[in-house]
């Protein structure tokens, strides 16, 4: 009797928990649904499926280009950021060199430095270099990740040195040891860092807002904010169109999230709790 009752209570709790999770996400879920509705149906309160909003977002508002820009910029930032961080992490973890501790300190200190202090000076630096309104201008300030270097250094220190030494005995150079021994073993850590770098850059807003005025170079974030802001007057916003643009903006990360959520959670908790 009591067991039956508690089994039923468990079902109820589980059901309510899942319902609460759906309600929690309902604004985003509904925005995706809305993006497939015609404006007329939406404002009249009906249901009428269409892909037209996506056609307009891509055709009239250049969202395919913004998507491409976001992929290029986030992709390059992730690749270069990971390479630089891994190389530095290897040096900090495995070599004793003069100034090494000081340099590592300088890398870790960047974790505390709020990025807003770099806004105006970096704008000036890139203006002087003629790199505003270019991919380089979006990419270069974003590729030195102190957090990734710190995190990977901790990880590499946990790898037995005997593995390096065996490779050196076979005549390997330091770069060979890094790419053939350390990197393959560190794959899980490098993967979680890569995810974090990619997501952070994908969602970056303030820097592209400052550095880009040429609309062909807008990232999705800027394109979406502009589309929503073009006609700020409440009655003229075409909400289903805006939601189609928003869905294009979140979909890549959303799909990726379903696949890699565990890696992401592990990376973040390792970084925070360690």
Closest separation in Å from C-beta 128 to other proteins: 11
Between residues 1 and 106, which has the closer beta carbon with respect to other proteins?
A: 106
Between residues 69 and 249, which has the closer beta carbon with respect to other proteins?
A: 249
Between residues 1 and 13, which has the closer beta carbon with respect to other proteins?
A: 13
Closest separation in Å from C-beta 250 to other proteins: 5
Closest separation in Å from C-beta 97 to other proteins: 4
Q: What is the DSSP string of 43-69?
A: HHT---B-SHHHHHHHHTT-HHHHHHH
**Angstrom distance (rounded) from CA 203 to CA 181:** 33
Closest separation in Å from C-beta 42 to other proteins: 8
Closest separation in Å from C-beta 60 to other proteins: 18
**Angstrom distance (rounded) from CA 270 to CA 274:** 6
Q: Which tokens belong to 231?
A: 């006609």
**Angstrom distance (rounded) from CA 231 to CA 240:** 14
3-state secondary structure of 96: coil
Between residues 22 and 163, which has the closer beta carbon with respect to other proteins?
A: 22
Place of tokens 């560190």: 186
With CA atoms as reference, report the closest residue to 54 among 245, 219, 221, 250. Answer: 245
Between residues 185 and 253, which has the closer beta carbon with respect to other proteins?
A: 253
Closest separation in Å from C-beta 221 to other proteins: 5
With CA atoms as reference, report the closest residue to 250 among 242, 272, 13, 118. Answer: 242
Q: At 33, phi and psi to the nearest 5?
A: -55, -45
Between residues 185 and 209, which has the closer beta carbon with respect to other proteins?
A: 209
Between residues 191 and 228, which has the closer beta carbon with respect to other proteins?
A: 228
Closest separation in Å from C-beta 160 to other proteins: 20
Closest separation in Å from C-beta 13 to other proteins: 8
What ranges in the chain are assigned the alpha helix state H? 2-35, 39-44, 52-59, 63-94, 100-109, 119-128, 135-139, 146-157, 161-169, 174-176, 183-185, 187-202, 206-211, 220-230, 239-273
Terminal-to-terminal C-alpha distance of the chain: 46
Between residues 64 and 111, which has the closer beta carbon with respect to other proteins?
A: 111
Q: Which tokens belong to 224?
A: 């979406």
């Amino acid at each position: 009797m009591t067991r039956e009752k508690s089994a039923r209570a468990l079902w109820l709790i589980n059901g309510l928990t899942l319902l609460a999770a759906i309600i929690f996400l309902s604004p985003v879920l509904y925005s995706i649904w809305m993006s497939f509705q015609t404006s007329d149906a939406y404002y009249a309160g009906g249901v009428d499926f269409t892909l037209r909003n996506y056609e307009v977002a891509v055709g009239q508002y250049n969202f395919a280009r913004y998507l491409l820009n976001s992929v290029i910029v986030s992709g390059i930032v992730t690749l270069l950021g990971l390479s630089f961080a891994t190389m530095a992490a290897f040096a900090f973890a495995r070599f004793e060199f003069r100034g090494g501790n000081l340099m590592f300190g300088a890398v870790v200190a960047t974790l505390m430095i709020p990025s807003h202090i770099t806004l105006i000076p970096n704008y000036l630096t890139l203006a002087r270099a003629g790199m505003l309104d270019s991919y380089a201008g979006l990419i270069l300030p974003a590729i030195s990740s102190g957090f990734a270097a710190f995190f990977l250094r901790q990880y590499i220190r946990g790898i037995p040195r005997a593995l390096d030494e065996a490779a050196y005995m076979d005549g390997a150079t330091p770069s060979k040891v890094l790419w053939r021994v350390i990197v393959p073993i560190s794959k899980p850590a490098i993967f979680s860092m890569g995810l974090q770098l990619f997501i952070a850059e994908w969602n970056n807003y303030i820097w592209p807002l400052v550095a880009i005025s040429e609309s062909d170079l807008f990232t999705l974030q800027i394109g979406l904010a502009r589309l929503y802001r073009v006609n700020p007057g409440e009655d003229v916003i075409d909400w289903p169109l805006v939601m189609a643009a928003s869905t294009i903006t979140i979909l890549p990360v959303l799909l990726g999230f379903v696949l890699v959520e565990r890696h992401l959670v592990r990376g973040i908790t390792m970084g925070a709790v360690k």
